[in-house]
Amino acid sequence: MAYKITDECISCGACEAECQNQAISEGETIYVIDPDKCTECVGNFDSPKCTEICPIDNCCIPDPEHTESREQLLEKWRRLHPGETPLDT
Protein backbone atom coordinates (compact mmCIF):
# COMPACT_ATOMS: atom_id res chain seq x y z
CA MET A 1 0.00 0.00 0.00
CA ALA A 2 1.10 3.54 -0.57
CA TYR A 3 2.46 5.51 2.35
CA LYS A 4 1.03 8.76 3.60
CA ILE A 5 2.34 11.66 5.65
CA THR A 6 0.40 12.57 8.78
CA ASP A 7 -0.27 15.92 10.44
CA GLU A 8 2.81 15.27 12.59
CA CYS A 9 4.88 16.50 9.61
CA ILE A 10 7.15 19.44 10.46
CA SER A 11 7.75 20.21 6.75
CA CYS A 12 11.51 19.70 7.00
CA GLY A 13 11.53 18.29 3.46
CA ALA A 14 14.03 15.53 4.27
CA CYS A 15 11.85 12.87 2.68
CA GLU A 16 11.36 14.56 -0.68
CA ALA A 17 14.89 14.00 -1.97
CA GLU A 18 14.94 10.39 -0.76
CA CYS A 19 11.97 9.22 -2.80
CA GLN A 20 13.21 7.66 -6.02
CA ASN A 21 9.67 7.76 -7.45
CA GLN A 22 9.25 11.54 -7.00
CA ALA A 23 6.09 10.70 -5.06
CA ILE A 24 6.64 13.33 -2.36
CA SER A 25 5.96 17.03 -2.78
CA GLU A 26 5.32 20.06 -0.64
CA GLY A 27 1.60 20.47 0.01
CA GLU A 28 -0.22 23.51 1.30
CA THR A 29 0.72 22.92 4.92
CA ILE A 30 2.66 19.65 5.06
CA TYR A 31 4.44 17.36 2.62
CA VAL A 32 2.24 14.91 0.75
CA ILE A 33 2.68 11.54 -0.98
CA ASP A 34 1.07 10.78 -4.35
CA PRO A 35 -0.41 7.27 -3.98
CA ASP A 36 -0.13 6.77 -7.74
CA LYS A 37 3.66 7.01 -7.42
CA CYS A 38 4.44 5.47 -4.00
CA THR A 39 5.50 1.83 -4.20
CA GLU A 40 6.50 1.49 -0.52
CA CYS A 41 9.96 1.72 -2.11
CA VAL A 42 9.39 -1.69 -3.73
CA GLY A 43 11.72 -1.72 -6.75
CA ASN A 44 14.08 0.88 -5.25
CA PHE A 45 15.04 -0.19 -1.73
CA ASP A 46 14.30 -2.99 0.71
CA SER A 47 12.43 -0.67 3.09
CA PRO A 48 10.53 2.64 2.87
CA LYS A 49 13.10 5.46 2.74
CA CYS A 50 10.81 8.30 3.79
CA THR A 51 10.06 6.53 7.05
CA GLU A 52 13.75 5.95 7.69
CA ILE A 53 14.82 9.53 7.01
CA CYS A 54 11.90 11.24 8.75
CA PRO A 55 12.92 12.71 12.15
CA ILE A 56 9.37 12.27 13.50
CA ASP A 57 8.05 8.90 14.66
CA ASN A 58 4.90 7.66 12.92
CA CYS A 59 4.81 10.51 10.42
CA CYS A 60 5.34 8.53 7.18
CA ILE A 61 3.05 5.56 7.60
CA PRO A 62 1.24 2.96 5.46
CA ASP A 63 -2.06 4.30 4.14
CA PRO A 64 -4.80 1.68 4.68
CA GLU A 65 -6.91 3.40 2.02
CA HIS A 66 -4.36 2.38 -0.62
CA THR A 67 -3.82 -1.33 -0.12
CA GLU A 68 -1.84 -3.08 -2.88
CA SER A 69 -0.09 -6.38 -3.33
CA ARG A 70 3.65 -6.56 -3.88
CA GLU A 71 2.98 -7.43 -7.53
CA GLN A 72 0.78 -4.35 -7.94
CA LEU A 73 3.50 -2.21 -6.37
CA LEU A 74 6.06 -3.67 -8.76
CA GLU A 75 3.77 -2.97 -11.71
CA LYS A 76 3.49 0.63 -10.53
CA TRP A 77 7.28 0.79 -10.25
CA ARG A 78 7.70 -0.53 -13.81
CA ARG A 79 5.29 2.11 -15.08
CA LEU A 80 7.34 4.83 -13.34
CA HIS A 81 10.73 3.47 -14.43
CA PRO A 82 10.34 2.17 -17.99
CA GLY A 83 13.28 0.15 -19.20
CA GLU A 84 14.89 -0.09 -15.75
CA THR A 85 15.36 -3.20 -13.63
CA PRO A 86 13.79 -3.22 -10.17
CA LEU A 87 15.85 -4.04 -7.11
CA ASP A 88 15.25 -7.70 -6.36
CA THR A 89 14.40 -7.97 -2.66
Q: Which one among 9, 23, 59, 80 touches ligand SF4, defined by CB under 6 A? A: 23
Tally of CB atoms within 10 A around 84: 11
Contact 38, 23 (CB under 8 A): yes
* 3 scored as a contact of ligand SF4 (CB under 6 A): yes
Q: Which amino acid is at 47?
A: S
Q: Residue count at the site for ligand SF4 (CB under 6 A)?
A: 15
* 31 scored as a contact of ligand SF4 (CB under 6 A): no
Angstrom distance (rounded) from CA 84 to CA 62:
25
Binding residues for ligand SF4 (CB under 6 A): 3, 18-19, 21, 23-24, 33, 38-41, 48-50, 60
